[in-house]
Amino acid sequence: MLEILSILAFYHPATHWIKRRISESREIVCDELAADATTGRAAYALSLLTMAHTAFNQPKASSYSLGILESTNLERRIMNLVDPRLPLTAKRKLILSICCWSLLASGSVGAVLFSLHPSTVHAAGSPALLYDPTQTFDTLTPKAARKPAPNFTLTDNSGRPLSLSHYKGKVVLLDFWATWCGGCKLEIPWYIEFDKKYKNQGLAVIGVSMDEGGWKTVKPFLAKKRDAETGGNIAMQYPIVIGTDSLAKQFGLTSMPMTLLIDRDGKIAVSHTGVVDKDNFESNIRALLK
Protein backbone atom coordinates (compact mmCIF):
# COMPACT_ATOMS: atom_id res chain seq x y z
CA MET A 1 0.00 0.00 0.00
CA LEU A 2 2.87 2.33 0.86
CA GLU A 3 4.57 1.70 -2.49
CA ILE A 4 1.34 2.29 -4.43
CA LEU A 5 0.64 5.56 -2.63
CA SER A 6 4.24 6.74 -3.05
CA ILE A 7 4.06 6.11 -6.81
CA LEU A 8 0.94 8.27 -7.08
CA ALA A 9 2.65 11.13 -5.23
CA PHE A 10 6.30 10.45 -6.10
CA TYR A 11 6.96 14.10 -7.05
CA HIS A 12 5.82 15.42 -3.67
CA PRO A 13 8.88 16.45 -1.59
CA ALA A 14 7.48 14.85 1.59
CA THR A 15 7.02 11.40 0.01
CA HIS A 16 10.63 10.24 0.31
CA TRP A 17 10.94 11.56 3.86
CA ILE A 18 7.76 9.73 4.91
CA LYS A 19 8.94 6.50 3.28
CA ARG A 20 12.29 6.73 5.08
CA ARG A 21 10.62 7.35 8.45
CA ILE A 22 8.19 4.47 7.96
CA SER A 23 11.08 2.19 6.98
CA GLU A 24 12.96 3.13 10.17
CA SER A 25 9.84 2.59 12.29
CA ARG A 26 9.21 -0.79 10.63
CA GLU A 27 12.77 -1.86 11.48
CA ILE A 28 12.28 -0.94 15.15
CA VAL A 29 8.99 -2.83 15.28
CA CYS A 30 10.71 -5.90 13.79
CA ASP A 31 13.41 -5.64 16.47
CA GLU A 32 10.74 -5.60 19.19
CA LEU A 33 8.92 -8.61 17.72
CA ALA A 34 12.18 -10.56 17.37
CA ALA A 35 13.26 -9.67 20.93
CA ASP A 36 9.91 -10.68 22.40
CA ALA A 37 9.93 -13.96 20.46
CA THR A 38 13.52 -14.95 21.36
CA THR A 39 15.87 -14.06 24.21
CA GLY A 40 14.56 -10.67 25.34
CA ARG A 41 15.45 -7.06 24.63
CA ALA A 42 18.88 -6.85 26.31
CA ALA A 43 20.17 -10.05 24.71
CA TYR A 44 18.83 -9.03 21.31
CA ALA A 45 20.49 -5.58 21.60
CA LEU A 46 23.77 -7.31 22.37
CA SER A 47 23.35 -9.52 19.29
CA LEU A 48 22.95 -6.37 17.16
CA LEU A 49 26.24 -5.03 18.53
CA THR A 50 27.91 -8.34 17.76
CA MET A 51 26.57 -8.31 14.20
CA ALA A 52 27.80 -4.74 13.71
CA HIS A 53 31.26 -5.60 15.04
CA THR A 54 31.47 -8.62 12.73
CA ALA A 55 30.22 -6.74 9.66
CA PHE A 56 32.56 -3.76 10.05
CA ASN A 57 35.57 -6.02 10.57
CA GLN A 58 34.92 -8.19 7.53
CA PRO A 59 37.11 -7.10 4.60
CA LYS A 60 34.35 -7.93 2.12
CA ALA A 61 31.35 -6.67 4.07
CA SER A 62 28.52 -5.84 1.70
CA SER A 63 27.36 -2.24 1.37
CA TYR A 64 23.84 -3.52 2.09
CA SER A 65 24.80 -4.99 5.49
CA LEU A 66 26.80 -1.87 6.39
CA GLY A 67 23.81 0.27 5.41
CA ILE A 68 21.48 -1.69 7.68
CA LEU A 69 23.96 -1.40 10.56
CA GLU A 70 24.76 2.27 9.89
CA SER A 71 25.87 3.83 13.20
CA THR A 72 23.02 6.34 13.73
CA ASN A 73 20.34 3.84 12.80
CA LEU A 74 21.95 1.09 14.91
CA GLU A 75 22.19 3.38 17.92
CA ARG A 76 18.50 4.25 17.59
CA ARG A 77 17.53 0.59 17.39
CA ILE A 78 19.61 -0.47 20.39
CA MET A 79 18.44 2.46 22.54
CA ASN A 80 14.85 1.58 21.74
CA LEU A 81 15.46 -1.98 22.94
CA VAL A 82 17.31 -1.22 26.19
CA ASP A 83 15.59 2.03 27.14
CA PRO A 84 12.21 2.44 25.39
CA ARG A 85 10.72 5.89 25.95
CA LEU A 86 7.18 4.56 25.81
CA PRO A 87 6.60 0.86 26.43
CA LEU A 88 4.08 -0.23 23.81
CA THR A 89 1.32 -2.52 24.93
CA ALA A 90 -0.75 -4.40 22.38
CA LYS A 91 -3.53 -1.84 22.77
CA ARG A 92 -1.16 1.10 22.20
CA LYS A 93 0.33 -0.60 19.15
CA LEU A 94 -3.13 -1.10 17.68
CA ILE A 95 -4.11 2.55 18.28
CA LEU A 96 -0.83 3.84 16.83
CA SER A 97 -1.16 1.57 13.78
CA ILE A 98 -4.67 2.82 13.07
CA CYS A 99 -3.59 6.46 13.45
CA CYS A 100 -0.52 6.02 11.23
CA TRP A 101 -2.42 4.25 8.43
CA SER A 102 -5.22 6.82 8.56
CA LEU A 103 -2.73 9.70 8.41
CA LEU A 104 -0.76 8.11 5.56
CA ALA A 105 -3.86 7.35 3.51
CA SER A 106 -5.51 10.75 3.99
CA GLY A 107 -2.26 12.64 3.39
CA SER A 108 -1.47 10.74 0.21
CA VAL A 109 -4.99 11.08 -1.18
CA GLY A 110 -4.94 14.80 -0.36
CA ALA A 111 -1.59 15.27 -2.11
CA VAL A 112 -2.84 13.47 -5.24
CA LEU A 113 -6.09 15.45 -5.37
CA PHE A 114 -4.20 18.74 -4.89
CA SER A 115 -1.75 17.83 -7.65
CA LEU A 116 -4.67 17.20 -10.02
CA HIS A 117 -6.36 20.53 -9.26
CA PRO A 118 -6.57 22.61 -12.47
CA SER A 119 -4.59 25.61 -11.21
CA THR A 120 -1.76 23.37 -9.92
CA VAL A 121 -1.52 21.29 -13.09
CA HIS A 122 -1.88 24.28 -15.43
CA ALA A 123 0.90 26.14 -13.58
CA ALA A 124 3.14 23.17 -14.32
CA GLY A 125 2.20 23.32 -17.99
CA SER A 126 0.58 19.86 -18.04
CA PRO A 127 -2.97 18.90 -19.01
CA ALA A 128 -5.33 18.43 -16.08
CA LEU A 129 -6.66 14.92 -15.52
CA LEU A 130 -9.67 15.77 -13.37
CA TYR A 131 -11.30 19.15 -13.86
CA ASP A 132 -14.44 20.85 -15.00
CA PRO A 133 -13.94 21.87 -18.68
CA THR A 134 -16.03 25.00 -18.12
CA GLN A 135 -13.22 26.38 -15.93
CA THR A 136 -11.11 26.84 -19.07
CA PHE A 137 -13.68 29.06 -20.79
CA ASP A 138 -14.40 32.66 -19.85
CA THR A 139 -17.34 34.93 -20.49
CA LEU A 140 -16.98 38.68 -20.33
CA THR A 141 -18.11 40.25 -17.08
CA PRO A 142 -21.15 42.46 -17.77
CA LYS A 143 -20.04 46.05 -18.27
CA ALA A 144 -21.97 47.39 -15.27
CA ALA A 145 -20.34 44.81 -12.97
CA ARG A 146 -16.72 45.38 -14.03
CA LYS A 147 -14.28 46.76 -11.46
CA PRO A 148 -11.48 49.25 -12.26
CA ALA A 149 -8.06 47.67 -12.70
CA PRO A 150 -5.54 48.86 -10.07
CA ASN A 151 -3.08 51.30 -11.57
CA PHE A 152 0.67 50.72 -11.34
CA THR A 153 3.86 52.29 -12.64
CA LEU A 154 6.88 50.06 -13.27
CA THR A 155 10.00 50.19 -15.45
CA ASP A 156 9.77 48.05 -18.59
CA ASN A 157 12.48 46.06 -20.36
CA SER A 158 13.42 49.14 -22.41
CA GLY A 159 14.11 51.15 -19.26
CA ARG A 160 11.03 53.35 -19.67
CA PRO A 161 8.30 53.87 -17.04
CA LEU A 162 5.08 52.04 -17.82
CA SER A 163 1.77 53.06 -16.25
CA LEU A 164 -1.39 51.03 -16.77
CA SER A 165 -3.48 54.22 -16.68
CA HIS A 166 -1.76 55.42 -19.89
CA TYR A 167 -3.42 52.53 -21.76
CA LYS A 168 -6.95 53.77 -21.13
CA GLY A 169 -8.80 53.72 -24.44
CA LYS A 170 -7.15 50.43 -25.42
CA VAL A 171 -8.02 46.82 -24.61
CA VAL A 172 -5.19 45.51 -22.40
CA LEU A 173 -4.10 41.88 -22.12
CA LEU A 174 -2.20 41.73 -18.81
CA ASP A 175 -0.20 38.51 -18.47
CA PHE A 176 1.30 37.45 -15.11
CA TRP A 177 4.00 34.90 -15.93
CA ALA A 178 7.40 33.51 -14.86
CA THR A 179 10.31 31.80 -16.61
CA TRP A 180 9.84 28.63 -14.51
CA CYS A 181 6.10 28.33 -15.26
CA GLY A 182 5.43 25.79 -18.03
CA GLY A 183 1.82 26.90 -18.55
CA CYS A 184 2.95 30.52 -18.87
CA LYS A 185 5.43 29.62 -21.60
CA LEU A 186 2.73 27.68 -23.40
CA GLU A 187 0.62 30.85 -23.63
CA ILE A 188 3.35 33.34 -24.59
CA PRO A 189 3.38 32.43 -28.33
CA TRP A 190 -0.41 32.94 -28.39
CA TYR A 191 -0.08 36.39 -26.84
CA ILE A 192 2.67 37.30 -29.31
CA GLU A 193 0.27 36.28 -32.07
CA PHE A 194 -2.59 38.34 -30.56
CA ASP A 195 -0.28 41.35 -30.23
CA LYS A 196 0.67 41.25 -33.93
CA LYS A 197 -2.87 40.52 -35.09
CA TYR A 198 -4.84 43.09 -33.07
CA LYS A 199 -2.33 45.79 -32.17
CA ASN A 200 -3.58 48.15 -34.88
CA GLN A 201 -7.16 47.59 -33.72
CA GLY A 202 -6.44 48.78 -30.19
CA LEU A 203 -5.02 45.79 -28.28
CA ALA A 204 -2.06 46.33 -25.94
CA VAL A 205 -0.28 43.34 -24.39
CA ILE A 206 1.76 43.75 -21.20
CA GLY A 207 3.77 40.93 -19.60
CA VAL A 208 4.32 41.03 -15.83
CA SER A 209 7.14 38.69 -14.80
CA MET A 210 6.94 37.38 -11.21
CA ASP A 211 10.46 35.92 -11.22
CA GLU A 212 12.23 36.43 -7.89
CA GLY A 213 15.51 37.01 -9.74
CA GLY A 214 14.06 40.03 -11.55
CA TRP A 215 15.85 41.24 -14.67
CA LYS A 216 18.85 38.95 -13.94
CA THR A 217 16.58 36.01 -14.71
CA VAL A 218 14.22 37.57 -17.25
CA LYS A 219 16.65 39.28 -19.64
CA PRO A 220 18.64 36.09 -20.45
CA PHE A 221 15.32 34.31 -21.00
CA LEU A 222 14.10 37.00 -23.43
CA ALA A 223 17.41 36.89 -25.31
CA LYS A 224 16.87 33.23 -26.24
CA LYS A 225 13.93 34.07 -28.55
CA ARG A 226 12.73 30.44 -28.33
CA ASP A 227 12.05 28.45 -25.16
CA ALA A 228 14.11 25.28 -24.75
CA GLU A 229 11.39 23.54 -22.73
CA THR A 230 8.35 24.13 -24.93
CA GLY A 231 10.05 25.06 -28.22
CA GLY A 232 7.69 28.04 -28.44
CA ASN A 233 8.39 31.56 -29.64
CA ILE A 234 9.26 33.88 -26.73
CA ALA A 235 10.46 36.87 -28.77
CA MET A 236 7.96 39.22 -27.12
CA GLN A 237 7.70 42.60 -28.84
CA TYR A 238 5.30 43.93 -26.22
CA PRO A 239 6.60 45.53 -22.98
CA ILE A 240 7.65 43.40 -20.00
CA VAL A 241 7.78 44.63 -16.40
CA ILE A 242 8.86 42.97 -13.16
CA GLY A 243 5.93 42.50 -10.78
CA THR A 244 5.94 42.98 -7.02
CA ASP A 245 4.20 41.22 -4.14
CA SER A 246 1.97 44.23 -3.58
CA LEU A 247 0.97 44.26 -7.26
CA ALA A 248 0.17 40.55 -7.12
CA LYS A 249 -1.99 41.15 -4.06
CA GLN A 250 -3.84 44.01 -5.77
CA PHE A 251 -4.79 41.80 -8.71
CA GLY A 252 -5.57 38.73 -6.57
CA LEU A 253 -2.76 36.62 -7.99
CA THR A 254 -2.71 33.20 -6.29
CA SER A 255 -1.06 30.99 -8.93
CA MET A 256 0.25 31.26 -12.47
CA PRO A 257 -0.36 31.69 -15.26
CA MET A 258 -2.92 34.42 -14.70
CA THR A 259 -4.21 36.61 -17.52
CA LEU A 260 -6.58 39.58 -17.43
CA LEU A 261 -8.45 41.41 -20.16
CA ILE A 262 -9.04 45.07 -19.34
CA ASP A 263 -11.58 47.01 -21.41
CA ARG A 264 -11.13 50.45 -22.99
CA ASP A 265 -12.48 52.10 -19.83
CA GLY A 266 -9.74 50.53 -17.69
CA LYS A 267 -12.05 47.96 -16.09
CA ILE A 268 -11.44 44.21 -15.69
CA ALA A 269 -13.58 42.20 -18.09
CA VAL A 270 -11.84 38.82 -17.62
CA SER A 271 -9.50 37.43 -14.96
CA HIS A 272 -8.35 33.88 -15.69
CA THR A 273 -6.06 31.70 -13.55
CA GLY A 274 -4.56 28.74 -15.38
CA VAL A 275 -3.89 28.16 -19.07
CA VAL A 276 -6.51 29.93 -21.18
CA ASP A 277 -8.42 28.39 -24.06
CA LYS A 278 -6.80 30.17 -27.01
CA ASP A 279 -9.88 30.40 -29.25
CA ASN A 280 -12.17 31.42 -26.40
CA PHE A 281 -9.74 34.10 -25.25
CA GLU A 282 -9.29 35.48 -28.75
CA SER A 283 -13.07 35.64 -29.11
CA ASN A 284 -13.28 37.75 -25.93
CA ILE A 285 -10.53 40.06 -27.24
CA ARG A 286 -12.46 40.63 -30.47
CA ALA A 287 -15.64 41.35 -28.52
CA LEU A 288 -13.89 43.97 -26.37
CA LEU A 289 -12.23 45.58 -29.38
CA LYS A 290 -15.67 46.12 -30.96
3-class SS letters over 170-233: CEEEEEEECCCCHHHHHHHHHHHHHHHHHHHHCEEEEEEECCCCCHHHHHHHHHCCECCCCCCE
Select from 38, 29, 139, 161 the least CA-distant residue to 84. Answer: 29
* Burial track 278-288 (b if 16+ CB lie within 10 A, e otherwise): eeebbebbeeb
* Burial track 69-99 (b if 16+ CB lie within 10 A, e otherwise): beeeebeebbebbeeeeeeeeeeeeeeeeee
134-289, CATH topology level: Glutaredoxin (3.40.30)
Q: Which residue has the higher pLDDT, 104 or 167?
A: 167
- 21-25, 169-173, 237-241, 266-270: range with lowest mean pLDDT: 21-25
Q: pLDDT tens for residues 217-244? A: 999 998 988 888 888 888 899 999 999 9
Q: Which residues of the chain are in CATH 3.40.30.10 domains? A: 134-289
Q: What mean pLDDT do residues 250-259 have?
A: 92
Q: What mean pLDDT do residues 161-170 have?
A: 95
**209 strand-pairing partners:** 177, 242
Q: What mean pLDDT do residues 159-180 have?
A: 95
* pLDDT for 126 beyond 50: no
Say if CB 15 and CB 6 are below 8 A apart. Answer: yes
Strand 267-273 versus strand 258-262 pairing type: antiparallel
What pLDDT score was predicted for residue 240?
96
Instruction: Quickly state the pLDDT bin for 263 (edges 50, 70, 90).
Output: very high
* Burial track 48-61 (b if 16+ CB lie within 10 A, e otherwise): beeebeeeeeeeee
Three-state DSSP at 25 gives helix
Note the pTM of the prediction, 2 decimals.
Answer: 0.55
Contacts for 107 with CB less than 8 Å, ≥ 6 apart: 14, 18
Query: What does the mean pLDDT of the chain come to?
Result: 81
What pLDDT score was predicted for residue 120?
43
Contacts for 49 with CB less than 8 Å, ≥ 6 apart: 78
What pLDDT score was predicted for residue 54?
73
Q: Which residue has the higher pLDDT, 132 or 264?
A: 264
What pLDDT score was predicted for residue 62?
52
- 77-81, 123-127, 178-182, 262-266: range with lowest mean pLDDT: 123-127
DSSP track, 112-153: HHHHTSHHHHHHTT---SS--GGGT---PPPGGGPEEPPP-E
Q: pLDDT tens for residues 6-59? A: 676 666 667 777 777 787 778 878 888 888 888 787 888 888 778 777 766 665
Q: What mean pLDDT do residues 183-188 have?
A: 92
What pLDDT score was predicted for residue 4?
76
What pLDDT score was predicted for residue 118?
45
Q: What mean pLDDT do residues 87-105 have?
A: 77
* Element holding 272 (H helix, E strand): strand 267-273
Q: Which residue has the higher pLDDT, 53 or 146?
A: 146
